[in-house]
Structure formats: C-alpha cells, structure tokens
C-alpha cells in the first residue's frame, strides 16, 4: 500500500498555455502562483512517500570499493549511497579523495550513507591495494585501456573469489598507472552513444550492482 506524503502536494498551473506541474513541500514553502508564468495554481494529488524496497539476497562475494583520487565531493557522496544500497563491505578512499571527516558536504549527497558504510582513508592507494591482492583479493579496475575487457562478458564468464575490489579513478587523469600494473583485470562498460565514458559515480554504481549479481 502506498502511503501519502502529507508534506508534498503536486500543484498545476491554471494557465492553459503553461500547465506547469510540480511538487511543493507545504511544510517549508507556501505560494499560490505559478513560478513560471505567475498564474494561479490549483492543488492536485498529495505526493507519495517512497517505501523501502524488499531486501536483496545476501551477496555471494565481499565487494570493496576503491576511490582513486576522486575530486568531487558530490561523486564521493553518490558512491557512498550506492555502496550502502548495493551492500558493499567497505570503501577505500585514496589520494586526494575527500573524506566525510574533511568534507561534511559529502553527507548531502550520501544522505547518511557515510555513517552506515565502513570506510578508510589511504594516502597511497596502490600500496593498500597491493596488500589486498597479497591476501588473495581480486583487483578489478574500471578504465578504458586498450587491454580492457567488457564488464558484461567478464561478469558472465568468470567466477569471482570471495573478496573483490572495484577501483574507479580520477577524471580526466584516469586510474593511477601503479594500480593498473597490479590489477587482475581492467574492465570497461560498453557504450552506445558518442561519449567514451560515464560519470564516475554512475559507472561505479553500474559495475557494483553487476558484480554483486555474480
């Protein structure tokens, strides 16, 4: 059963040439005129309060995310939120990647996921990943190198060990060459458009969920 979110009401502009529809949080804002054309507004349905979806099955692998010199606090926050939703075990923040302790604004995008997701900071991420590889972790890097393989084909054809590390890197510098040297596999996400890559937080989310399905 969907629940009504009493704070939000969808309004509609009465001007037949405008017809703007938008939600308004009546607990924070008041108004009776269209912000686009100034015509009177008519109230419509109350907004729907989103429900928590059913929990996913327990993952077969332990997936760790590694952020190599990600500059944007918004991308870091989005990755925290994805890590929480996908059930990652931990995030490793490396190099100049901002941390929740240094940049509280991360919480605006993470929406609290920085508190529910285990994380650690590593000034030299290649060294930290080298230690994980020595303990039999599989190191996977998202990057478009000549030797990269398709994420789809890899996830379908290669059984994964108990612990996997997914690395994403800096835009536009790319993943640290020292990390590429120790990676077990470099992967790319197939693209259909003219652009050669996705936003780093978007790419991380696609790859994380794809790997957690294996």
pLDDT at residue number 193: 80
pLDDT at residue number 3: 41
CA distance 19 to 34: 9
CA distance 37 to 40: 9
In the chain, what is the straight-line distance between the N-terminal and C-terminal CA atoms, in Å? 32
2 closest CA partner among 48, 63, 69: 48
CB atoms within 10 A of CB 170: 18
47 closest CA partner among 13, 15, 22: 22
pLDDT at residue number 172: 82
pLDDT at residue number 2: 38
pLDDT at residue number 55: 65
pTM above 0.75, yes or no: yes
pLDDT at residue number 149: 95
pLDDT at residue number 108: 87
CA distance 21 to 12: 4
Domain ranges of the chain: 3-49, 62-212
pLDDT at residue number 164: 97
Q: Which CATH class is domain 62-212?
A: alpha beta
Residue pLDDT tens, the chain, 214 long: 334 445 788 899 999 999 999 988 878 777 789 999 999 998 777 666 555 666 665 667 899 999 999 999 999 999 999 999 999 999 999 999 999 999 898 998 998 899 999 999 999 999 999 999 999 999 999 999 999 999 999 998 888 999 999 999 998 888 999 999 999 999 999 988 877 778 999 999 999 999 998 6
């Amino acid at each position: 059963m969907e629940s009504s979110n009493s704070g939000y009401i969808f309004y509609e502009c009465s001007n037949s040439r405008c017809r703007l529809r938008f939600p308004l949080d009546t607990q924070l804002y008041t108004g009776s005129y269209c912000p686009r054309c100034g015509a009177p507004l008519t109230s419509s349905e109350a907004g729907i309060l989103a429900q928590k979806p059913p929990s996913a099955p327990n993952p077969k692998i332990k997936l760790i995310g590694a952020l190599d010199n990600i500059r944007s606090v918004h991308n870091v926050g989005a990755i925290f939120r994805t890590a929480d939703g996908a059930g990652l075990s931990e995030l490793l923040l490396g190099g100049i990647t901002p941390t929740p302790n240094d940049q509280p604004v991360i919480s605006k995008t993470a929406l609290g996921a920085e508190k529910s997701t285990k994380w650690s900071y590593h000034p030299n991420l290649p060294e930290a990943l080298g230690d994980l590889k020595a303990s039999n972790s599989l190191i996977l890097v998202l990057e478009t190198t000549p030797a990269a393989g398709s994420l789809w084909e890899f996830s379908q054809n290669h059984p994964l060990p108990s612990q996997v590390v997914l690395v994403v890197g800096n835009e536009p510098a790319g993943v640290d060459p020292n990390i590429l040297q120790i990676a077990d596999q470099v992967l790319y996400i197939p693209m259909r458009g003219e652009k050669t890559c996705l936003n780093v937080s978007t790419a991380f989310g696609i790859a994380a969920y794809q790997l957690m399905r294996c």
